[in-house]
Amino acid sequence: MALNLPSAENVALVAVVTLGLIVVWDAYWLTKQRSDVPTMGALPSGGFAWQSEGVHEVVRQWGNLGSMAAMMVLPWALLEASNTPVLYAILWDVFLGLHLISLLVPKRYAITSTHLFADGQRYAWERLRLAKRQPRRRIMLLRNGWGPFGPLPLGGDAEAITVARAYIVAMEQARGLPRGEAE
Asked whether residue 111 is domain-assigned, the answer is yes
Tens-place pLDDT, residues 138-181: 899 999 988 877 888 898 999 999 999 998 988 788 777 665 54
Is residue 14 helix, strand or coil? helix
DSSP state, residue 57: H
Residue of 21, 176, 183 whose CA lies nearest to 99: 21
| pTM for the predicted model, two decimal places | 0.78
Asked whether residue 43 is domain-assigned, the answer is yes
Host domain of residue 95: 38-174
Give the CATH number for residue 99: 2.30.29
Asked whether residue 103 is domain-assigned, the answer is yes
Asked whether residue 153 is domain-assigned, the answer is yes
Task: Flag whether pLDDT at 13 surpasses 90.
Answer: yes
Cα–Cα distance measured from residue 31 to residue 99, given in angstroms and rounded to the nearest whole number? 14
How much is the pLDDT for 179? 56
Residue of 6, 18, 104, 21 whose CA lies nearest to 55: 104
Tens-place pLDDT, residues 59-78: 888 888 888 889 999 889 88
